[in-house]
Structure 1
Amino acid sequence: HVTIDHYAAVIVSLCLLMSLAFFFLMYRSQELEYKYGNLSEGVCKPGYAAAKMATIYPKFTKLAPMFLDRNFKRLSKVNNYLPPFGFKTQERIIDSILTITKNYGLGEELDSLSCKRCIVVGNGGILSNKSLGSRIDEYDVVVRLNEALVKGYGKDVGTKTTIRITYPEGAIQNPENYEQDSLFVLSAFKPLDFKWLRQMVYKEKMRGTDGFWKSVAQSVPREPTEMRILNPYFIQEAAFQFIGLPFNNGLMGKGNIPTLGTVAITMALHNCDEVAVAGFGYDMNKPYAPLHYYESVKMSAIKESWTHNISKEKEFLRKLVKANVIKDLTNGI
């Protein structure tokens, strides 16, 4: 029989563990304050985002390559998963793409920085009339998503684009709307996405559009050396470790795909020393507010998505802002 003394001992042990965890977090917090508190305002803080992230996700480690390179098959966390959580079955086509892209980093200048400040610019209407453009352009790496326009919106969203992350259905269709000097990065959600990228990289005529849920770009005005494949680990980690979406045997299913914005933030946490965001957050209490800063579609157009769990993502992003892991310039999260 379990005695009352046994229960008491268990409760005491639990209390001790909770106290130890609390003191550990306090110690970590004070340690970070001491390490970064004396740096002048505006000076890049090496390792800051990862250190902050580890206080709320103790298993978080910074090392995870931003893009796939010729050694991609060695990435144990993704080589046994099908897209979007890995690249299983797509090895041959990825090899074919990487053979011609030849480059696998941000570029010599950015890759050599000892401390990188990055900002992920969301597409939200909340960016309108905030005049944050010059502030956004100050970051070393400016990440933009899908077809969000820059031309004509510089005052609010900036003019600099380091990388534009997208998938076939989200890619800019009008070649004139592409920036001159950004990297084109594919975040693949299905096997067909790799096939599409191969055609874009090899400048082939588009064949076989069955399987896309809307029309896709027929060409991408970028040299192969300016194209990259995002490491699918960020989709996997955001979904299962951070947001807590259903695992579903590691397959794409109802409500277990993170939005591209959260995937981009996860990528930045692994590869940047400081991470900021702007243009994130939907206010469903304002149905007539603009959904995106570059078009007239209203907030009321949002319907609960089959693939995403917006409320769970919001919880995760709020957690990051509250713990000072990321800085939200538009205060929408």
Structure 2
Amino acid sequence: MGDVADKAAILISNYSRDHPVFLQLSDYFWVKNQTVYGLPYGTNGSEYLLMTFLALTNSYHVPPEIERGRLACRRCVVVGSGYRLRNSSLGEVINKYDIVIRLNNAPVHKYEKDVGNKTTMRFFYPESAHFNQHLDNNPDTLMVLVPYKPMDIVWMKIILNDEKRVRKGFWKMPPIIWEADLRNFRILNPYYMEVAGTKMLNPGQDSKKRIRVKPTTGMLAITFALHFCDLVHIAGFGYPASTNKNQSIHYYNKATLKNMGVKAHSINGEAEIIKKFIRHKLIQNLTYF
């Protein structure tokens, strides 16, 4: 049995596994779990919009492999997009985990030897949805929307309903043609973003103040895994030194730190948190950090 819950309770203040993984109508989350924050840290102000979206997907159940209580020990790996995965030959190892969580538009096709080809969940937001639904996911992969802003939910509803596309409100144009299966789409509970943004990156955060730093999707996925899994491993995390402007940051392209907008994120802060978790054996790193 993994001991993530026991260790996480020591390192994360007010740690709890009592929150739903995904938003769903039956929870009436905006009544039972009122939040002071708006998206991406809470649902304040977006209740009606979320209700219209959840009405589309509410009839679909969570797949058995991620249903709570289904496995005696849920072994998870969060697969990052980092250069460290290139030529790692970790594909077969990654495929053996019960839950494989991938991030944004990180591809699988043509990189199977290094990253595997099993995807249980993919965390994404509209601007990061430029991936091949068939080649980079499995037919039963859960597509988990991380809503950073109300327009993200609007975009997802438009895609699922095949409505007239909206081209404004995004920092980068998301796909306008996208094959989507209603059965596979969920919205991640913003609770995990709040934990990452307050209890990890800004410990002691006053709930009345605006959260200063947005966690990366990778930090969010690790936070989620620590609340959901019994064993948490990571692979492909970490950036080159800030002085190294020419080193690729991804295993699948030649983008460097110069190409990445890091101003909204605390890259160094996240690195320290991950190192702390590794040091305390809360998580294990399959690559180097």
Asked if TM exceeds 0.5, the reply is: yes
**Is 1:89 the equivalent of 2:45?**
yes
Which one of the candidate residues 81, 106, 113 is aligned to 1:123? 81
In the TM superposition, what are the counterparts of 1:164-179 in structure 2 within 5 Å?
A: 164-172=122-130, 174-175=132-133, 177-179=135-137
Between structures 1 and 2, the one with greater helix share:
1
Matched, 1:310 2:273: no
Contact 2:4 2:231 in 1 (8 A): yes
Call closer, same or farther: CA 1:294–1:203 in 2, change over 3 Å: same
User: How far apart in 1 are the matches of 2:159 and 2:38?
Assistant: 22
User: Which of these residues, 139, 148, 155, is aligned with residue 189 of structure 1?
Assistant: 148
Alpha-carbon deviation of 1:165?
0.6
Contact 1:126 1:330 in 2 (8 A): yes
| Residues 1-333 of structure 1 aligned to structure 2 (within 5 Å) | 45-46=1-2, 48-57=3-12, 59-70=14-25, 71=27, 72-76=29-33, 79-102=35-58, 106-111=62-67, 112-172=70-130, 174-175=132-133, 177-181=135-139, 182-206=141-165, 208-244=166-202, 249-251=208-210, 255-284=212-241, 286-302=244-260, 305-332=262-289
State how far apart, in whole Å, the 2-side matches of 1:297 and 1:108 are: 37
Bigger drift between 95-104 and 122-131 goes to 95-104
Q: Render the CA deviation track for 1:270-307: whole Å, top value 9, x for unaligned.
A: 1111111100001225433221011122345446x231
Cα deviation code 1:148-177 (max 9, x no counterpart): 000000000000001111111111255554
CA deviation map 1:304-331 (0-9, x unaligned): x231111111111111111111111112
Give the conservation status (yes or no) of the 8 Å contact 1:172–1:178: no
Q: Contact 2:101–2:119 at 8 Å: present in 1 too?
A: yes
Cα distance in 1 for partners of 2:133, 2:10 equals: 43
Query: Would the alpha carbon gap of residues 115 and 158 (structure 1) be closer, same or farther in structure 2, given more than 3 Å must change?
Result: same
In structure 2, C-alpha distance between the alignment counterparts of 1:80 and 1:88, rounded to whole Å: 6
Distance, in Å, in 2 between the alignment partners of 1:261 and 1:247 is 24
Cα distance change of structure 1 residues 214 and 167 upon mapping to structure 2, 3 Å threshold: same
Structure 2 residue identity aligned to 1:102: N
Residues 83 and 251, structure 2, Cα contact 8 Å, conserved in 1? yes
C-alpha separation in 2, matches of 1:199 and 1:316:
37
Q: Which residue of 2 aligns with 1:42?
A: none
The two structures have a TM-score, normalised by structure 1, of: 0.78
Q: CA RMSD in A?
A: 2.1
Q: Check conservation: 1:67, 1:105, Cα contact below 8 A.
A: no
Superimposed CA distance per residue, residues 238-274 of structure 1 (whole angstroms, 9 cap, x where no aligned partner): 111111176694546xx51111101111111111111
Q: Deviation at 1:204?
A: 2.2
User: TM-score if structure 2 supplies the norm length?
Assistant: 0.90
d(CA) in 1 for partners of 2:15, 2:162:
39
Alpha-carbon offset, residue 73 of structure 1 = 2.2
Which residue identity does 2:247 align to in structure 1? A
Question: What percentage of residue pairs aligned between the two structures are identical?
Answer: 35
Unaligned runs of 5+ in 1: 1-44
Do the aligned partners of 2:76 and 2:97 also contact (CA within 8 Å) in 1? yes
Contact 1:173 1:217 in 2 (8 A): no
| Contact 1:67–1:104, Cα closer than 8 Å, also in 2 | no
CA shift digits 1:212-233 (9 cap, x unpaired) = 0011011432311110000101
1:104 CA drift (Å): 6.4
Tell me how far apart the structure 1 counterparts of residues 260 and 207 of structure 2 sit (CA, whole Å).
25
Provide closer, same or farther for how the CA distance between residues 74 and 329 of structure 1 changes in structure 2, counting only shifts above 3 A: farther
SS in structure 2 at match of 1:144? strand
Residues 118-151 of structure 1: per-residue CA shift (max 9 Å, x gap) = 1111100110011011111111110011100000
Q: How many residues align?
A: 282
More moved, 190-199 vs 67-76: 67-76
Q: Which moved more, 1:122-131 or 1:103-112?
A: 103-112
